[in-house]
Amino acid sequence: MQEAELHDLSDDADYAASQLQGSASFSRSGSSKRSSSSESDGAEIVYSKDNVTIHPTQYASERISGRLRLIKQGSSLFMTWIPYKGQRSNPRLSEKDKSLYTIRAVPFTDVRSIRRHTPTLGWQYVIVVLSSGLAFPPLYFYNGGVREFLATIKQHAFLVRSADDANVFLVNDFQDPLQRTLSSLELPMAVSVANGPSTSVSVSEPPSNENQEKADGGNFDGLGATSQYNGRHRPKIHDPARDLSIQVLEKFSLVTKFARDTTSQLFRESHGDGFGSNDRRHHNQSLLDSPHKASSDEQKVPDEIPVPSDPLEFDKLALVWGKPRQPPLGSEEWATFLDSEGRIMDSKALRKRIFYGGIEHSLRKEVWTFLLGYHAYDSTSAEREYLVSIKKSEYETVKQQWQSISPEQAKRFTKFRERKGLIEKDVVRTDRSLSFYDGDDNPNVYLLRDILLTYSFYNFDLGYCQGMSDLLSPILFVMKDEAESFWCFVALMERLGPNFNRDQNGMHTQLFAISKLVELLDSPLHNYFKQNDCLNYFFCFRWVLIQFKREFEYEKTMKLWEVLWTHYLSEHLHLYVCVAILKRYRNKIMGEQMDFDTLLKFINELSGQIDLDATLRDAEALCICAGENGAANIPPGTPPSLPIDSGLLCPQQDDIL
């Protein structure tokens, strides 16, 4: 959904215009207008801006506007963002949903950096990164005011421009290069990061946009309530400022590079719950590289280190609630789900059957089209045949768009050259160990390239990012048809596309949801991660981004994907799979006192060693055990949920038992 009007976000011009229009509510500490609005206990509002907005999804109707404030109390500076009450533009969002995003009295002693984004088109926004490496969702300034926001912070806190990136402003001068890099990655979501008592600040909640000056009197304590944000932000799919140079996976190789190069301690030492942090162990492995053996000179941790017990008695839980896996769905059984005209008579029963057993490979070509939403469950065989012919023609039309670009035109089409070059570089190293993609001049490799290039024109705003070839490869392997593979990939990207958005909020949301689920289902493990500066859950990044593609053999990956696509029990079962794997290795992680680098290396080395059937059984048990509490910790709109107005032929259904 596109906006009817996009603003040129030269911040100075916007801010001046907003002042002339009377829509800005920017104020300084010496302003007589705001002097009477100072909060109780000596708190003073030194900056206030209305219509600062969070974008939970790509739809304008679901944006949440609120008031951003900087509050000075004594020598401390706090930031708050409170959504307006009674916003009529968000019929799907309850007040409870909106409260998940509330930022309450965050002290700048807990802020690491602020990244400013100024797209060519669209609104300027900032991302506030905390000292833990976590980040709040982007705050969009509809009426300008970013420059004044930063200037006010500089008046009351130490703020310097990063030497590495002119758009990053450091609130604390980092000595460690990895800290600086993690901040600039902007990957995880914000969680409650209060580490100790802080001065309480009273914050008024704005009741509505129309009544901006009337306060509602809600008080919040800075202790233990630095953030109520639950990671619900769904990234914009239609981002005209997206740059193909943003390659998430290559960024992560920088993390391990800095981990190898630095000898100082990478994160603050924590002093709670008795979990210390070892010296960092070095490695130079990218998150998408193949696993390798641990070096023999790594420090050994005594086995007698006590490990807190699993509060859920996980092994017993899986036995009680995790049902045994069944044989895969075969052709004879598949026929029983169809009526005489080819309709699926009971889609819920079918999805339950696939959830517990998967699908025989010979059937995947037919059944995957339903699971992905390319074909509707209630469509007839004749309707599907007609749709295939129509979609084939549509595909050829889109493909012709890039095929018709002449060499002379390509010289003047930088975006096309960049995308084409990146795709061609990636496809030649995607699953080449498979006979289907092996060998020189393999036509299937060319099909991968053509489909990805066509998709970059079909969804020009999203384009192509590294990792997409991993998602397409099994689809082409199964479908063995260019046009059908394309449309199945389109359907998959409707769910997973936010993983590749420029602001990376699709990844933000999922990593944050994992942290909340671990906190719910294994609080000792959560506390261990907290004490060892692992709450960013970077080590789960590869799992989530490409749906465990590198963790299992090819056949097992396809089996896992079709189980996830059923949306049986939960559309976010992949998050419970992450929790299940972590819980299976919790004793090793805590017993060996793994720190961030060691944990990242250990997780990478699990590739090929995870028992899929046991993991699915564990994930099912955790999902049932978590119940409504688990669902409440996964913000609405978290990928891979489908947007309601996605335009797909057949939106998927969600159901519980």
Q: Is 210 exposed, middle or buried (0-12, 13-18, 19+ CB in 10 A)?
A: exposed
Is residue 655 within 8 A of residue 568, CB to CB? The reply is yes
Q: Do residues 275 and 538 lie in contact, with contact meaning Cβ atoms separated by under 8 Å?
A: no
Exposed, middle or buried by CB within 10 Å (0-12, 13-18, 19+), for 158? exposed
Report how far residue 9's alpha carbon sits from residue 141's, in angstroms, rounded to the nearest whole number. Answer: 9
- pLDDT value, residue 608: 92
Q: What is the pLDDT of residue 42?
A: 73
pLDDT for position 492: 95
**Which residues pair with residue 43 across a beta bridge?**
73
Answer for the pair 356, 325: CB distance below 8 angstroms, yes or no.
yes
Say what the pLDDT of residue 25 is.
Answer: 36
Helix (H) or strand (E) holding 79: strand 76-83
DSSP track, 591-650: HTT--HHHHHHHHHHTTTT--HHHHHHHHHHHHHHHHHHHHHTS-TT-TTSPPTT---SS
pLDDT at 389: 96
3-class secondary-structure state, position 103: strand
Output helix, strand, coil percentages for the chain, rounded to the nearest 5: 40, 10, 45
What is the predicted pLDDT for the residue at 314?
53
What pLDDT does residue 96 have? 63
d(CA 579, CA 4): 42
Among 122, 115, 107, 337, residue whose Cα is nearest residue 203: 107
Identify the three-state secondary structure at position 256. Answer: helix
pLDDT for residue 519: 93
Is residue 582 helix, strand or coil? helix
Mean pLDDT, consecutive 10-residue stretches, the chain (657 aa), reads: 34 36 36 41 86 78 87 90 73 64 86 85 84 80 90 88 84 49 39 36 46 39 37 40 37 39 33 35 39 40 59 54 82 96 96 96 97 95 96 97 95 93 94 94 96 96 93 97 97 92 84 94 93 89 94 96 95 96 94 92 93 93 90 86 46 39
Give the predicted TM-score (pTM) of the model: 0.57
